Chains A and B, each alone.
Chain A
Amino acid sequence: MTNATTASVPAVDVRGVTKTFPSRRGDDVTALLDVSLSVHAGEFVSLIGPSGCGKSTLLRIIADLDSPTSGEVSVFGKSASGARRDQDYGIAFQSAGLLPWRTVAANIELPLQLHGMTRPARRARVSELVELVGLSSFASSYPDQLSGGMQQRVAIARALAESPRLLLMDEPFGALDEMTREYMQSELVRIADESAAAVVFVTHSIPEAVFLSNRVVVMSPRPGRIQTIVDVDLGSNRGERLREDAHFFEKVTIVREALHGTPAPHSASRGVDHR
């Protein structure tokens, strides 16, 4: 596929996707009901909602780890499974999921090795990536020697290894402490800008979604549906200062009100939930 076509085709196109899980008692659980969503190339989109709203299920369907009961998913104009076979996306989960017997470098190298890249090319690419996530001095460490935040950075580097045009992230910072989390968010903004990849990011943290995204997709549970989509667009220069910016709080309030379904009292916009 050439660059000319990718520009016109959306990175992810979800049309009328419904997903029901059969339950043992016979009453099926509807995780997603008639969900449609389009993510442009290079765009950062967050999925947010309470647990049970199907945000992770939607991500897993895009990644072809689950298949929809009905509806269609296309990734760069191909079917989800076609995109998976062509390795059009990189994925990071809530836990880092590193292989404990491989060093940091070897973990990042894994997808390259599996897909038959030559050893010298792998070497070069891995050293770029450890540099990108700031772990050059830990390349030959093993995962159990790293902190949770460092492990998660390795997982992100691994997801970026094959320079995918789409990055799928399922609450990758969910298990980190607040300080590490904010640092990782800034890093992710930088990395996403540098790689120019589209990102679909699942989270349950409102400030995180607002800080990172171009658009925030607010979902509601039982059955999982898209409630509304909030355009954020805080510009490309998102430094630490942004977290204390009034514009930022305003967007946080909008997303929160959309999440709760009713407009919150105006004063609530001050007491921002920093989760």
Chain B
Amino acid sequence: MGWGVVGVVALGLLWEGYKAFGPVGGFDVAGLQLLPRTTDSAMPHIADMVARAFQPVNSAPGSPAVWLAVSTAALSSLGTASMGLVLGSGVGVALALVMLRFRIARSAVLPWLILSQTVPLIALAPLVVSWGGRLQLGDLTWERWMSVAVIASYLAFFPVAVGALRGLSSPDTIHTELMHSYAVGWWKTLVFLRLPSSVPYLLPAVRLGAASAIIGTVVAEVSTGAKGGIGRLIIEYAQSGSADPAKAWSPIAGAVVMGLVAAGIVAAFGATLGRFRRNEVAA
């Protein structure tokens, strides 16, 4: 923890140092821009970023402080991301169970699952977003935030499905044979053996899924322009551009905190499952 603080301070010093002594127009090599410009509009002072966070969003009367607007947006995005994570993990674990139960499902689906992790499926985000406000499922009108949650769940789904399958298939032969010698069926083996031994695999997968869900949420909010989320604020505040350069950094700090909070929640959840992680291999 202490070292983390020192590391962040070092990053800050690097920023201010480059800003003080770096070339004003940036640094180009053969037309390739290697280093950024150091003007106040390109690289605001850290003190300015912090100060800006405590000023109102804009000059309209009753406008909230930037940090408050960012926190509200981050909370809303975190909510959407959690919904996506829960949904995606649920479907992921369910699919893993189907693949565990039926060998044919496993050999047909697993290659696609692994392949799909290597391709940029997030490119679909703007298309799923276009469902917003147009799709009718019975009485349910498809809202934009639902698109965001679907994209988040979609990204969380893959690591969880693969991790769950690996975890559920992880018990040693000696343990499955023990269960066989006890003459218990598939379900009891699942509850007493496979689920507990999947925990050390499932937790890193959920951690990855949580990070993916947050990226998915932010990206989807950017593509939708859905109001209320942190993604929208990142774009909106960046558009004030050179007139108000320090403002753009607040939602980014918000996104960073959001990612850390999500990872913290998953870690706290993992801590309650400590007894299933006694043999955990260092991840």
Contact = CB atoms under 8 A, between A and B. Distances in A.
Interface of A: 63-65, 84-87, 89, 91, 93, 95, 97, 99-101, 110-111, 113-115, 142-144
A100 B193 CA distance: 10
12 contacts: A65-B181, A84-B180, A87-B182, A91-B181, A93-B174, A99-B175, A99-B197, A101-B196, A111-B182, A114-B188, A114-B192, A144-B278
A142 B280 CA distance: 14
A97 B172 CA distance: 8
A89 B275 CA distance: 30
B178 A91 contact: yes
Most buried by A among B183, B192, B278: B183
B131 interface: no
Nearest to A95: B174
B276 interface: yes
Nearest to A82: B183
A97 B196 contact: no
Nearest to B276: A101
Contacts of A93: 174, 177-178
B194 to A, nearest CB: 11
- 4 closest cross-chain pairs (CB), A and B: A97-B174, A100-B279, A101-B276, A85-B183
Contacts of A87: 182-183
Contact of A65 (B177, B184, B275): B177
B175 A65 contact: no
A115 B196 CA distance: 19
Contacts, number: 52
A99 B193 contact: yes
Contacts of B277: 101
Interface residues of B, number: 21
A29 to B, nearest CB: 19
Contacts of B178: 91, 93, 97
Interface of B: 172, 174-175, 177-178, 180-184, 188, 192-193, 196-197, 199, 275-279
A113 B192 CA distance: 10
Given A93-B178, A101-B278, 5 more contacts: A97-B172, A99-B192, A101-B275, A114-B184, A144-B278
Contacts of A142: 275, 278
Contacts of B180: 64-65, 84
B183 to A, nearest CB: 5
Contacts of A115: 182
Contacts of A63: 181
A167 to B, nearest CB: 12
Contacts of A91: 178, 181
Contacts of B174: 93, 95, 97
Nearest to B188: A114
Contacts of A89: 181
A99 B196 CA distance: 9
Contacts of A86: 183
A85 B178 CA distance: 13
B183 A144 contact: no
Most buried by A among B174, B188, B192: B174
Contacts of B172: 97
B141 to A, nearest CB: 46
Contact of A114 (B182, B275, B278): B182
A189 B186 CA distance: 36
Nearest to B178: A97
B41 to A, nearest CB: 56
A84 B175 contact: no
Contacts of B199: 101
B80 to A, nearest CB: 34
B148 to A, nearest CB: 37
